[in-house]
Amino acid sequence: MTVSSKRIFSGTRSTFPGDLRDASSGSAANKSDLLDYDDAAPAVTGAWAAAYSATRFYQIDFNSPRPAGLPASSVNFNIKYASKGGGGSGNACIYKIEVRRASDDSLLGTLDHSAGPLCSTGATYRVVNEDISSLVTTTDLADDLRIKIFGYETGAKGWNIEYATVTGTSYASWTLFEKTYTDQSTGAATVTPWSIATAEGTGAAGTIYTAASTWPSTVPTSAKYLQVTFDHPDLPAGAVVQSVTLKNIWRDATAPGLGGTLCNYFEVYNGASLVETHGGTTQATAQSCNNSNVTWQTDTVTLSLVDTVAEANSMTIKFYYWVAPLCGGGGNPNCVRSVTDQVQATFTYYLN
């Protein structure tokens, strides 16, 4: 009797959206994680020293969407960076890169470029793809990854970082995206979590996303929404999708008052194709309503029609908010913005 086990056992893997588009005004604005995409929206560091300093670095902790226990290959840290430019600026230089475990900060290895720092030419971007396959050999390590970049700017200015990701292969190509970064380029640390990655529940600045504009009155408007696309579930081809769950934790930015409440429904897309809709366009049929700027509303919804690898990997959600029964005008509830603490998709799947 020959017995063979599945390549990936059934399990749940979660990730968050890095791509966020805010169309609360009726015009979509790119509010995505600045470190995720090559989209001309760079993250800007503080001012570095003009030469290497052991206390100045830029540290990135990545998301953890990979199934555990798999071998990983072709693992690369990819960064596109340049000097921020401006008067007196020079070149942005990487002196060394440390690869660490995020959970305990233990050092997996160092890519030492001290003998020949990797420098941009002024404000012209340089792309560096560092092979870290020998350090990140499993998805257990990939799911617990921290990259620490020690650098400087020859004019003691800041950097622009267009993207910083980790790519690899475990049955399929995958990409990891930033969850939290620590900018210690100045010597003093500033820790910034991606606003909708985790549920801090504090409402503190930097841990939430507040819609740019107030939501419409009475009924949702098709042009006004928050759209999220998830940071690459990267289910391998042939995987069997058993379930997909969406979690959205949100509240009002300010209370509408006067009996008003902020409501939403959402649509699930596979790319541009509508897959399913949750909630209706009235207060009675909404996915959820919340009249509080204190209490978080947690919506956990099973997306039963997202049942293929393609749908899972290309899943985009559009949240439509509105104030019910109405808002604006004298004696009516105020029109308010929404605050999002976390959006998370959880995929349960296996691979034979």
Taking CB under 8 A as the rule, does residue 151 contact another protein?
no
Query: Binders of another protein: how many residues, by CB under 8 A?
Result: 17
Q: Do 247 and 346 meet the contact criterion of CB atoms below 8 Å apart? A: yes
Nearest CB to another protein, comparing residues 6 and 27: 6
Taking CB under 8 A as the rule, does residue 330 contact another protein?
no
Taking CB under 8 A as the rule, does residue 115 contact another protein?
no
- CA torsion, points 108, 112, 117, 122, in degrees to nearest 10? 0
Distance of closest approach, residue 143 Cβ to another protein, in angstroms = 11
Taking CB under 8 A as the rule, does residue 72 contact another protein?
no
329: left (phi over 0), alpha (psi -120 to 50) or beta: left
Among 26, 29, 69, 124, binds another protein (CB under 8 A): 69
Q: Is 283 exposed, middle or buried (0-12, 13-18, 19+ CB in 10 A)?
A: middle
Q: Which amino acid is at 138?
A: T
Taking CB under 8 A as the rule, does residue 103 contact another protein?
no
Angstrom distances, CA of residue 136 to CA of 33, 77, 133, 143, 284: 24, 10, 5, 10, 50
Taking CB under 8 A as the rule, does residue 350 contact another protein?
yes
Among 28, 68, 212, 219, binds another protein (CB under 8 A): 68
CA distance 9 to 351: 7
Nearest CB to another protein, comparing residues 6 and 271: 6
Listed in sequence order, the residues at least 6 apart from 280 whose beta carbon sits closer than 8 Å to its beta carbon are 265, 286
Taking CB under 8 A as the rule, does residue 126 contact another protein?
no
Phi, psi of 135 (to 5 degrees): -100, -35
Closest to 13 in 3D by CA, of 352, 350, 346, 351: 346
Among 35, 60, 70, 142, binds another protein (CB under 8 A): 70
CA distance 281 to 322: 9
Taking CB under 8 A as the rule, does residue 7 contact another protein?
yes
Contact positions with another protein (CB under 8 A) in 75-94: none
Distance of closest approach, residue 242 Cβ to another protein, in angstroms = 11
Among 18, 67, 168, 256, binds another protein (CB under 8 A): 67
DSSP-based three-state secondary structure for 311 = helix
CA distance 147 to 107: 10
Distance of closest approach, residue 232 Cβ to another protein, in angstroms = 20
Q: Which part of the chain contacts another protein (CB under 8 A), choosing from 9-17, 108-116, 264-272, 296-304?
A: 9-17
Here the tokens at position 340 are 């999002």
Taking CB under 8 A as the rule, does residue 168 contact another protein?
no
Among 8, 249, 263, 317, binds another protein (CB under 8 A): 8
Taking CB under 8 A as the rule, does residue 137 contact another protein?
no
The residue ranges that bind another protein (CB under 8 A) are 1-11, 67-70, 350, 352
